[in-house]
Amino acid sequence: MLELKNVRKTFFRRTINEKKALDGISLKVAPGDFITVIGGNGAGKSTALNLIAGVYPIDSGAILIDGKNVTRQPDYKRAAYVGRVFQDPMMGTAADMEIEENLAMAYRRGKRRGLSWGVTHKEKEIYHEALKTLELGLEERMTARVGLLSGGQRQALTLLMATLQKPKVLLLDEHTAALDPKTAAKVLHLTEELVGKHQLTSLMVTHNMKDAIRLGNRLIMMHEGQIIYDVAGEAKKKLKVADLMAKFEEASGGEFANDRMMLA
Ligand SMILES: Nc1ncnc2c1ncn2[C@@H]1O[C@H](COP(=O)(O)OP(=O)(O)OP(=O)(O)O)[C@@H](O)[C@H]1O
Ligand SMILES: [Mg+2]
């Protein structure tokens, strides 16, 4: 469903600030794979997701989604079939628009028709049913402005929007990191449900090693722009946090004590 072939990305190339963010990443993702992604600060996790979404052009290599080479396709075109949720709950939704208008934007993504005809009755029914599954009571507030919602509610809504038109690839970049623990657990649970229900091919970045082990069927660890560990199936299920810490320590040569992944 997704393939990265030796993808490289350097920011500020040939300047004093040159930063090699991805140093030749190759990855083959099968349909329905749910991959958790861990790694220290600056390892290249967000960059990898941004490149899959088409936010920046890559320096070399290739990206294929569902067998199609999308390397040169811009992000707004990929948005029709790549769903994403960021860390910041403010980013995935439009605060000044109503809940149902936000859902309509997501529902019509990649289709020609804009918002000009308003939200139809039939659509309202679809959104009502979808919102119910969140169990946050948002289905009773469909014309409320999204800016009135809490961070957790907005993140749940963003997740729903990202999966409303079953995406070929779902990208989650620490999407629960800015939420309080209880809300984070709720949104994580919702993630599992939505991914499971639609069998979504997903990549989820987290700095929580327990979550990385518990969720998904495959785990990759990144370090300095490379994938240094890739484990799936039974071997992944047997992993312990201590195993991941040992891997990480080995890769980083002990310079990990202050890393967010460790602190978590
Ligand atoms: N838009 C950008 N412009 C310049 N440098 C960037 C940009 N995005 C990322 N980088 C750099 O690329 C490297 C990888 O960053 P990235 O954000 O992918 O790391 P990360 O693994 O997501 O880290 P974190 O856990 O802190 O979120 C870092 O050195 C970062 O400073
Ligand atoms: Mg990041």
What pLDDT does residue 263 have? 64
Closest ligand to 25 CA? Answer: 1
C-beta of residue 194 within 8 angstroms of C-beta of residue 168: no
Q: Which of 148, 193, 171, 1 is nearest to 85 (CA)?
A: 171
The Cα angle at residue 43 between residues 38 and 46, in degrees rounded to 5: 75
Mean pLDDT by 10 residues, the chain (264 residues): 98 94 98 96 96 96 98 93 92 94 89 69 94 93 96 94 95 94 92 95 96 97 96 96 90 70 66
Closest ligand to 86 CA? Answer: 2
Helix (H, G, I), strand (E, B) or coil at 185: helix
**Full-prediction pTM beyond 0.75?**
yes
What pLDDT does residue 113 have? 60
Q: Which two tokens stand for residue 216?
A: 């998904």
| Residues written for the chain | 264
What pLDDT does residue 167 have? 96
Looking at ligand 1, which residue's alpha carbon is closest to its atom 30? 42
- Distance between CA 257 and CA 179 in Å, rounded? 24
Residue tagged 């991914």 (tokens): 195
- For ligand 1, residues with CB inside 6 Å are 11, 19, 21, 39, 41-47
CB count in 10 Å sphere of residue 68: 11
